[in-house]
């Protein structure tokens, strides 16, 4: 088993090889963890939070030091991120990965935002135009800031099903990236070329007094800020 430092080095490499056509199909999932960079999203989808009484109030952002410490702790734990089943495209998101093994400081409390893409495409590889567009959307996400993790599974050669997921510092960071021209083009291409293309959104919660993350379906409100 590789050492932690070796795994970290591998995880920080861009997930797109220099010669994509030399390997048409992925032989193992992609795990990419960009170096941690704490940034304030340039586009905020929600300036106000609605409480149980239906009253809007300005969002209260955690102190920058708290945000940084929490995200660094998550980033470190995610070096051990892996699927626990080969049926990652069919299983519920909370059951696909080793969430229970990603242990964080007991007194830490924070939330992050995750997006999972379930797809069924006839051409499930990374070659050709699909590869080029995927690389551009990935670069666009890195430039926009806030990306903590990118993971892409292996497409099932028989059914074409696959799962891709990203973890963000906040929902606003994800919206900023998804508003970019390459993301918009990729979404349109996926909707027209894939038999199935579904986006599911989740809230990753770390509560004080617990070591593991909670994976909850996103309902409303902001995450991470």
pLDDT tens digits, 43-63: 444 433 333 433 333 344 455
List, for residues 2-40, the tens digit of each pLDDT value.
333 334 344 444 454 444 443 445 678 888 888 876 665
Cβ neighbours for 108, distance < 8 A, ≥ 6 positions apart: 69, 70, 73, 206, 208
Q: Which of 125, 110, 104 is nearest to 210 (CA)?
A: 104
Residue 122 lies in a domain: yes
Residue 190 lies in a domain: yes
CATH label of the domain that carries residue 188: 3.30.70.100
Highest mean pLDDT among 69-73, 92-96, 168-172: 92-96
The pTM of the full predicted model, rounded to 2 decimals, is: 0.74
**What pLDDT, on a 0 to 100 scale, did the predictor assign at position 30?**
86
Q: Which of 46, 55, 40, 42 is nearest to 221 (CA)?
A: 46
Element (H, E) at 146: none
Residue 12 lies in a domain: no
The number of folded domains in the chain is 1
Dihedral class, residue 43 (left if φ above 0, else alpha if ψ from -120 to 50, else beta): beta
Residue 98 lies in a domain: yes
CA angle 223–220–210, rounded 5-degree value: 50
* Mean pLDDT of the residues in the chain: 74
Confidence of residue 217 (pLDDT cuts 50, 70, 90): very high
Task: Provide the residue range defining the domain that includes 204.
Answer: 65-217
Dist. CA 146–CA 169, nearest whole Å: 5
Residue 29 lies in a domain: no
**What pLDDT, on a 0 to 100 scale, did the predictor assign at position 36?**
76
Decide if pLDDT at 220 tops 90: no
Cβ neighbours for 135, distance < 8 A, ≥ 6 positions apart: 16, 20
**Bridge partners for 49 per DSSP:** 57
Residue 47 lies in a domain: no
């Amino acid at each position: 088993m590789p050492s932690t430092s070796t795994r970290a080095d591998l995880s920080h490499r861009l997930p797109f090889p220099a010669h994509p056509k030399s390997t048409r199909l992925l032989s193992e999932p992609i795990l990419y963890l960009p170096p941690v960079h704490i940034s304030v999203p340039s586009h905020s989808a929600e300036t106000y939070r609605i409480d149980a009484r239906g009253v809007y109030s300005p969002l209260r952002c955690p102190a920058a030091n708290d945000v940084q410490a929490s995200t660094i702790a998550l980033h470190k734990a995610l070096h051990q991120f892996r699927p626990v089943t080969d049926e990652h495209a069919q299983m519920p998101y909370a059951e696909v990965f080793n969430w229970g093994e990603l242990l964080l400081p007991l007194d830490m409390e924070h939330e992050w935002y995750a997006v999972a893409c379930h797809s069924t495409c006839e051409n499930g590889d990374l070659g050709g135009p699909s590869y080029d567009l995927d690389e551009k959307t990935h670069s666009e996400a890195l430039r926009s800031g806030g990306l903590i993790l990118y993971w892409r599974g292996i497409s099932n050669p028989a059914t074409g099903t696959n799962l891709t997921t990203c973890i963000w510092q906040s929902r606003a960071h994800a919206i900023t990236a998804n508003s970019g021209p390459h993301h918009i083009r990729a979404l349109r291409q996926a909707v027209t070329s894939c038999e199935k293309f579904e986006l599911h959104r989740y809230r990753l919660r770390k509560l004080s007094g617990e070591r593991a993350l909670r994976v909850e379906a996103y309902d409303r409100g902001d995450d991470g800020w």
